[in-house]
Amino acid sequence: MKKIFLSFLSISTLMLTIGKVYAQKPSSELLTPTNHALVFIDLESQMGFATKNIGMDELRNNVGIVAGASKIFNVPTVVTTASEKSFSGPVFIELSEFYPEASYIDRTTMNTWEDVNVYKAITGMNKKKIVFAGLWTSVCIVEPALSAKADGYDVYVITDAAGDMSREAHEMAINRMMQAGVKTMTSIQYLLELQRDWARSETYKAVTDLIKKYGGTYGIGVQYAHEMLKH
């Protein structure tokens, strides 16, 4: 009887151990610093002038969060512009802060997927997941997102780091992409999904500093906690 009881305990311990291992395995749907490429599209002055679905201050902060996150976690990133010198103008400073102008790929196509240089830059990173952010949602985000999806990529769009000429234009574009299987997320969600665990001390300070700078009320809360609780 004692042997049977001990055997039962051993099996139970093994089952708990196996269960714990399975419980700790994250979903393959989640983004990690190494499983995706990030693409910023046309975050430029001329595009920003007409963006109405989101306040410009909020949009710029969200771009700063995403750009900063990609630098902190060394995410392979492409920045592409549309006729930067002749029409669309400079990129947001929240983007150029992390990615200098010399790294941008300028183009004339509305669909980045149809531009040879941008296409090679994105696909050359050899990542099956691609994350898009930029302006405008209904044109320069929809077109490459659907094109990449059709080519077999797992596509994500950061909806609050994108914008359009009206709320309807933005929302209809998001709906269209979701119907095609594109996944959506927000800028803070992107940052925290990469951090995932506050015990990751190597990125903790950089992440919380980024939140304090660009995270709005969330950033104020983090600043308060650091000052008042001293951690």
Chain center to CA of 100: 19
Structure tokens at 175: 């709906």
Q: In Å, how far from its chain's centre is CA 31?
A: 8
What H or E segment, with its residue span, contains residue 58? helix 56-72
Report the distance separating Cα 218 and Cα 73, nearest Å: 21
Higher pLDDT, 133 or 216: 133
The percent of residues above 70 in pLDDT, for the chain, comes to 90
> How is the chain split into domains, by residue range?
36-195
Query: Which pLDDT value is given to residue 229?
Result: 83
Q: What is the pLDDT of residue 101?
A: 86
CATH architecture of 36-195: 3-Layer(aba) Sandwich (3.40)
Q: What is the mean pLDDT of the chain?
A: 90
The mean pLDDT of 150-176, rounded to a whole number, is: 98
**Dist CA 100 CA 209 (whole Å):** 21
Sign of CA dihedral 170, 98, 36, 188: negative
Residue type, position 148, single letter: A
Indicate which residues carry an active-site annotation. Answer: 140
Secondary structure of residue 15 in the 3-state scheme: helix
- Is residue 38 within 8 A of residue 131, CB to CB? The reply is yes
Q: Name which of 223, 216, 207, 226 is nearest 66 in CA terms.
A: 207
Rg (CA), the chain: 21
pLDDT at position 52, please?
Answer: 97
| Percentages (nearest 5) of helix, strand, coil residues in the chain | 55, 15, 25
Reported pTM: 0.88
DSSP 8-state assignment for residue 165: S
The tens digit of pLDDT for each residue in 49-87 reads 999 999 999 999 999 999 999 999 999 999 999 977 877
Considering the chain, what percentage of its residues have pLDDT values greater than 90?
78
Where do the DSSP E strands lie in 83-207?
A: 105-107, 129-135, 154-163, 183-185
Residue 8 confidence (pLDDT): 36
Higher per-residue confidence, 122 vs 84: 122
Q: What is the dihedral of CA 184, 35, 69, 56, to 10 degrees?
A: -30
Q: What is the pLDDT of residue 12?
A: 41
Strands 183-185 and 105-107: unpaired
